């Protein structure tokens, strides 16, 4: 197994779901991980769950919608650890089913603030650290979504922000070349978690029906994420999609 002694990662949205699982995966492989989320208590629970690896798990509660707070977060990482090797730009949110005319401007702006603006703030400050450190460079992995390719019904704000993440990934990958910064994106289908429990009861389909959708185990996401992490610095997985084998994605609708 590849180890990562003295390597530093920032994982956003680390208090639950995919962020928590991937942060624990990094800790198991020897990384030091800054756990970023809004709720300090939930981050402390992740530290406790890390067990023997807890000494390398650092809770850093931050509101990622506030640019000054994000700057302070990355300044603290630089001051405490001296460098940044990996950013998992994972934090995000979804909204209940709403057609375009049913979605308020406030909800639209809240989605953009969290899913897009927060991701950009983190990426930009990761660039700031990675291009200035020695040795220069690092890796940034953005959490896109299958909705970055094909939207679900009643999810226009989520789909729009996730399509924007794909543009963020492409542009940052291009701009990162000069500094040895590899930027890639993991697009994740239905995965078993507290957030997807309702999928077993039925998810809105393009034909207006409700149908259960299959989910994959979280371990498949962590394995895919760690495959991206463990690439040599000279290689980058620009986009990868991981989903349940029988998920209705290809040919959706």
Spell out the domain ranges in the chain.
Answer: 8-242
Averaged pLDDT for residues 8-19: 97
Instruction: Find the farthest-apart pair of alpha carbons in the chain and give their distance in angstroms, rounded.
Output: 55
What pLDDT digit, counting tens, does each position of 181-211 carry?
Answer: 999 999 998 888 766 666 667 777 777 777 7
Active site residue: 88, 121, 158, 225, which one?
158
Q: What are phi and psi of 36, to 5 degrees?
A: -115, 130
Looking at CATH, the fold of the domain delimited by 8-242 is given as Rossmann fold (3.40.50)
Q: Which of 84, 188, 164 is nearest to 126 (CA)?
A: 84
pLDDT of residue 198: 67
Active site residue 121: no
- Please tell me the pTM assigned to this model: 0.93
Alpha helices in the chain (DSSP H): 17-28, 40-49, 67-81, 105-111, 118-132, 156-176, 218-229
Distance CA 85, CA 140 (A): 8
- Which of the 8 DSSP states describes residue 112? I
Confirm if 235 and 217 have CB atoms less than 8 A apart: no
């Amino acid at each position: 197994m590849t180890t990562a002694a003295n390597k530093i990662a920032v994982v956003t949205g680390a208090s639950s779901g995919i962020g928590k699982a991937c942060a624990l995966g990094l800790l198991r492989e020897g990384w030091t991980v800054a756990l970023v989320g809004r709720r300090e208590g939930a981050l402390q629970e992740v530290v406790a769950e890390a067990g023997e690896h807890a000494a390398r798990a650092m809770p850093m509660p931050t509101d990622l919608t506030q640019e000054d707070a994000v700057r302070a977060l990355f300044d603290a990482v630089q001051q405490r650890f001296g460098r940044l090797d990996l950013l998992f730009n994972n934090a995000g949110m979804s909204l209940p089913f709403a057609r375009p005319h049913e979605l308020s401007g406030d909800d639209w702006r809240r989605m953009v603030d969290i899913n897009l603006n927060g991701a950009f703030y983190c990426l930009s400050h990761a660039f700031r650290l990675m291009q200035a450190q020695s040795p220069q460079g690092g890796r940034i992995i953005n959490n896109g979504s299958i909705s970055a390719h094909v939207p679900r019904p009643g999810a226009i704000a989520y789909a729009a922000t996730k399509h924007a993440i794909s543009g963020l990934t492409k542009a940052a990958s291009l701009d990162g070349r000069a500094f040895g910064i590899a930027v890639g994106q993991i697009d994740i289908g239905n995965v078993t978690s507290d957030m997807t429990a309702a999928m077993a009861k039925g998810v809105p389909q393009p034909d207006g029906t409700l149908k259960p959708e299959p989910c994959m185990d979280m371990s498949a996401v962590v394995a895919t994420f760690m495959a991206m992490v463990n690439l040599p610095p000279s290689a980058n997985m620009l986009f990868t999609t991981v989903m349940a084998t029988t998920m209705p994605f290809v040919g959706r609708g």
